[in-house]
Amino acid sequence: MSLPEIDIALFFIINKGLQNFFFDAVMPFVTKHAELVFLPLVLWAAAKEKKGIWPFLLVSLFAVALADGSGHILKDIAARQRPCHAFTDINLLVGCGRSYSMPSSHAANAFAFAMSFLFLRRNSIGYFSLAAAVVIAFSRIYVGVHYPFDVLAGMLLGTCGAYASLQLYRWGERIYAKKAYGEALGLSVLLISLFRIWFIQTGPFDLTPDEAHYWEWSRHIDWSYYSKGPVIAYLIYLGTALFGDTVFGIRIFAVVLSAVSSLLVYLTARDLYDKKTGFASALLIQIVPLYAVYGVLFTIDSPFMFFWILSLYLFHKILQRQGHGAPGKRIDHYWILLGVSAGLGLLTKYTMAFFYFSAFLFMLASKDNRKLLNTAGPYMAVIIGLTVFSPVIYWNAANEWVTLKHTAGQAHVAEGLRISPKRFFEFIGSQIGVITPVLFALVSISLWRMRKDRKGAFLFWFSVPTIAFFVLKSLQGKVQANWALPGYAAGFIAFSAHYIRNIESSKRGMKLLVSSGVLLALLVTSFAHFPSILRLPQKKDPTSRLVGWRELGHEAGMVYRELSQSAPAFIVSDKYQVSSELAFYTDGQPATYCINLGRRMNQYDLWPGFESFIGYNAVFVRTSQDDLPEEVKEAFGHCDKKPVTIQTRQKKIVKFTIFKCYDFKGMKMRTIESF
């Protein structure tokens, strides 16, 4: 017999052969309430260990999170169907579940918790915990939702998670004893990254519309795209090549680039000041709301901030080497690396141009560094950067310079010069919100007070010009909260150097102010990850647009399959956001289309459309409950309206309308009127 055949045979022996009245009553309770099985053991340990219980809980809970997150990733990779989906003649005592079967998360989590106790203390509590974990793991086979090999894989995964968690805890103890800031950052970033991987796999948020749209780009690899350069598409292509067309595959580089960005901030701040300043600055990158979100959601700003911070680090290395007389007659190779880094930044987001502007202002304002403008290095970096950026220029030349037109539209160039106090105060308010009020004020004070010394000037010129530009721009038109994002990287270093580096000698009031600023940032970021804690009304909850897409894809998929039975069918919407989400969440991830009913141009308009699909049926999806536009109705034989009300896993109500349209007769497509 093959291993799969042995696995199936063992499953039926346990699920059917061992069936009895007692197990039928007990095992469903055990599998549904595993936490209650462990609760008496935790209380026993707390009574016996007293204060010593905290290491147990810390190690075990982290082990569970590690095993749970890893299990979700492995499920998607193995993609093994559960026995309750594969067979009908089984003893199914609980709901089958939607996730894949290998490994069993219940078994992984139970063994992660139990083995943490056993690794720390080989006593009766540890052995009873192991026995409880075995019963929980066994229950998953008996109730009919996992094969024995799924459970064995979960047991092994949980044990590995417990061991890894214990080693991380002991590493933390050594770091605390030595006050090793570099190691402390490494451990902190590792733990945060592991949390983010777990959150991506188990959290409440579907792909954002932008993430789904960039994933669509990755299915159409090109030199550039309508609104942005190609780097985001290339990274998503790589992530999904490694981990499949999954949410994790799309978002993995958000985690990686955020972690590396923190390490680069640490190195820059350490070289400017000291390791303590580096540690504080790098940690702020992880916990401040404006930055933390891009460690989970993979949009343009994740790679953009990485290249900005990398370029900041490289430029400071050049200044260091210049101070030590390193360059000589030959061009320092750091100029070449800076050119490549800045060029890749431009390929990611055009706001990278502010880096060149800041570098020029810094060199111009500093007598010591002004002489760099008389060397070939800066100009070589610019030439290399533009060379790296040239694919965008080439692509735009072949596509009627649509990116320039789009950027001009985003910048409200056609509106001319006008003053809008409302937009100004909205932008200032948004900055206070995403940085938090205390940190926003202290970062601003730090940059201003430190601007006159050499190190402070470096931070000032790589922060204030960018932020100031968008503050002034907000007087003329709408500015998004994240547009000033790069200016705060140097600002956090200034804050850490000015306030945290010598915090021990500060007055009590200042200590409380600084601590409250950091804790408030951490609190806001925590609420952003778990918004249900706040119980906000749906209309005021900014995360409402991040849910419901999975369920919509399921609904649209059923209609798509129904229509495909009588004729070939396609899926279309009047918004690129909806088309992109449907492309990802509809079963089979089919090609989708975006019809122009008077909207501005988007990337779908540059790809082949559905004009030639004469005789096809169509699934037309709208975010409103409105009727079908006349020009669409006339393009089909007839259309049936199906209002869809979705209650998400977070109990939010989302409304869409799906139209079943039959026999496409063709239609005249509108010309693009706005960008």
Residues 490 and 621 grouped into a single domain:
no
Residue at 39 is within a domain: yes
* CA pair distance 596, 574, nearest whole angstrom: 6
Residue at 155 is within a domain: yes
3-state secondary structure of 661: strand
Beta bridge partners of 661: 618, 639
Mean pLDDT, residues 648-675: 80
Nearest to 308 by CA among 336, 332, 341, 339: 341
Residues 79 and 165 grouped into a single domain:
yes
| pLDDT tens track for 186-245 | 888 988 998 898 888 887 889 999 999 999 999 999 999 998 999 999 999 999 999 889
Residue at 285 is within a domain: yes
Residues 634 and 585 grouped into a single domain:
yes
- The Cβ of residue 254 has, within 10 Å, a number of other Cβ atoms equal to 24
Confidence of residue 18 (pLDDT cuts 50, 70, 90): confident
| pLDDT tens track for 151-193 | 888 889 989 888 888 888 888 778 777 778 888 888 889 889 9
* CA pair distance 244, 238, nearest whole angstrom: 9
Residues 166 and 187 grouped into a single domain:
no
pLDDT at site 502: 84
Residues 167 and 252 grouped into a single domain:
no
When the pLDDT of each residue in the chain is averaged and rounded to a whole number, the result is 86
Nearest to 218 by CA among 231, 203, 200: 231
| pLDDT tens track for 360-409 | 999 998 878 888 888 888 999 999 999 999 999 999 999 888 888 887 76
* CA pair distance 601, 355, nearest whole angstrom: 29
| pLDDT tens track for 511-531 | 888 888 889 888 888 888 887
CB 253 within 8 A of CB 215: no
- Domain final residue pick, 178, 209, 239: 178
Q: What are phi and psi of 93, to 5 degrees?
A: -110, -10
Mean pLDDT, residues 565-592: 92
Residue at 674 is within a domain: no
* CA pair distance 279, 284, nearest whole angstrom: 9
Please tell me the total count of domains within the chain. Answer: 3
Residues 188 and 174 grouped into a single domain:
no
* CA pair distance 641, 627, nearest whole angstrom: 8
| pLDDT tens track for 347-374 | 999 999 999 999 999 999 887 888 888 8
Where residue 90 sits, what CATH number does that domain have? 1.20.144
| pLDDT tens track for 182-203 | 888 888 898 899 889 888 888 7
Residues 254 and 363 grouped into a single domain:
yes
Residues 225 and 362 grouped into a single domain:
yes
Residues 342 and 284 grouped into a single domain:
yes
Nearest to 492 by CA among 504, 483, 501: 501
Residue at 280 is within a domain: yes
- Domain final residue pick, 153, 178, 203: 178
Residue at 671 is within a domain: no
Identify the residue with better confidence: 381 or 507: 381
3-state secondary structure of 619: strand
Residue at 624 is within a domain: yes
Confidence of residue 594 (pLDDT cuts 50, 70, 90): very high
Residues 87 and 46 grouped into a single domain:
yes
Mean pLDDT, residues 117-134: 79
- For the four alpha carbons of 108, 109, 113 and 114, in that order, the dihedral sign comes to negative
* CA pair distance 76, 74, nearest whole angstrom: 5
Stretch (H or E) spanning 656: strand 653-664
Residue-number span of the structural domain to which 229 is assigned:
183-531
Residues 196 and 336 grouped into a single domain:
yes
pLDDT at site 230: 95
Residue at 92 is within a domain: yes
Residues 502 and 586 grouped into a single domain:
no
Confidence of residue 331 (pLDDT cuts 50, 70, 90): low
pLDDT at site 71: 84
